[in-house]
Amino acid sequence: MTFISPLGILGKIAGAIIIAFLGVILGLFYRGLDRKLAARMQARVGPPIRQPFRDFLKLMIKENIVPENAVPWIFNGAPIMSLVATITILFYLPVGNISPLLSGYGDIVLIVYLLTLPAIGMVVGGFASGSPYANVGAQREMVMMMSYELPLVTTVIAIGWKLSQVYPELNVFSLAVINAHPIWGLVGPLGFVGAILLLITLVIVTPGELSKIPFDAPEAETELAGGLLVEYSGRNLALFSLADATKTIVMVSLTIVLFFPYNIAYLLGLSGIFALIVDTLFFLVKLFLIMFVEVTFIRVAAARLKVDQVSYAYWVPLSLTGLLGLALIVLDTIIV
């Protein structure tokens, strides 16, 4: 059993506070970039990049209204649960060559479970609000959750299985281990094609996890007036907004860890603090580029799908794509 000294516990707490603060700030900043880029792609000016910060501060000073027919403690607790679960995932994500804060205390299987909590929080909050619009949105969110979990889990299992064949002595589901052993260097031609299919699967799962167009059926403003969040205002809406912004960072970072964990400091011959700074900046660049592809570009290029179309897209073509990628990686290992 591993014991942590009081000084070590204080260090973990301080690190957790810093990571939570930076994660929220980065999430709001990248949301501003996303909105600005989407506007430019649609020939609009768009809001300033700092607009998400303004919106958050405005919501925090507004009255927090609880509907008459709501269950107050569930209605108020749901946004807190969503934000806490999302921030907790940040503690398990490596950044560049910086190890996760809670490395060794959880793995990617735990992260898959934690990713469901923000969605569950929104579902519970929607049902607890007493609104018929939120009720429909909550039902749609549950359908979405049941749809995108299979392709997401297939991607995780495929990468973990491949690592277990090459490094059986390691904890193959640890994000630190996955970050240190990129999948592209472990596979042959068949496995390489399989890894590309898994990457495509994760790219399409991401907007569903984030309820972004074309997979935003649970919120669908033009149909449900905001859906799940229609009755939320003030502080509660601000917390859901923070959870959404932070979850964007989480999902994009997960793509980086699973498929693009490379650093550039060693190519430049750097070490020490300079390597740390360069690799962190490189991580932020990757974060921006992948966010543009997974969130901004898809949101601008596609129209909203109906909930039955969303369910079909995840259960049939995307799940088959993920399973095919897994099969190719397995065949690649057998042939080699």
Q: Quick check: 166 pLDDT over 80? A: yes
Cα distances from 211 to residues 52, 90, 140, in angstroms, run 18, 19, 11
pLDDT > 70: percent of the chain = 95
Q: pLDDT digit string (tens) for 305-330?
A: 888 888 898 999 999 999 999 999 99
Give the residue from 282, 258, 100, 111 showing the smallest Cα distance to 183: 258
**What would the pLDDT profile of 96-134 be if each residue is shown by its tens digit?**
778 888 877 777 888 988 999 988 988 898 888 888 888
Looking at residue 82, what is its pLDDT? Answer: 92
DSSP string, 260-327: -----TTTTT--HHHHHHHHHHHHHHHHHHHHIIIIIIHHHHSPPPPHHHHHHHIIIIIHHHHHHHHH
Assess whether pLDDT exceeds 60 at residue 224: no
The mean pLDDT value for 236-256 works out to 93
Whole-Å CA distances, 207 to 56, 298, 305:
22, 8, 12
Quote the distance between the C-alpha of residue 126 and its chain's center.
Answer: 21
Please state, in angstroms and rounded to a whole number, the distance separating the CA atoms of residues 259 and 263: 12
DSSP-derived secondary structure letter, 99: P
State the burial class of residue 51 (Cβ atoms within 10 Å of its Cβ: 0-12, 13-18, 19+). middle
What backbone phi and psi angles, to 5 degrees, belong to 98?
-90, 125
pLDDT given at position 80: 93
Residues 6+ apart with CB under 8 A from 317: none
Q: Cα separations (Å) of 235 from 31, 79, 241, 242?
A: 19, 9, 10, 11
Mean pLDDT of 133-162: 88
pLDDT tens for residues 286-312? 999 999 999 999 988 888 888 888 889
CA atoms within 13 A on the CB side of 126: 26
Please state at what angle helix 319-335 crosses helix 132-166, rounded to 10 degrees.
0
Give CA angle at 238 (216, 16), nearest 5°. 100
Quickly state the pLDDT bin for 1 (edges 50, 70, 90): very low
Q: Whole-angstrom Cα distance, residue 316 to residue 59?
A: 40
Whole-prediction pTM: 0.90
pLDDT above 60 (res 217): yes
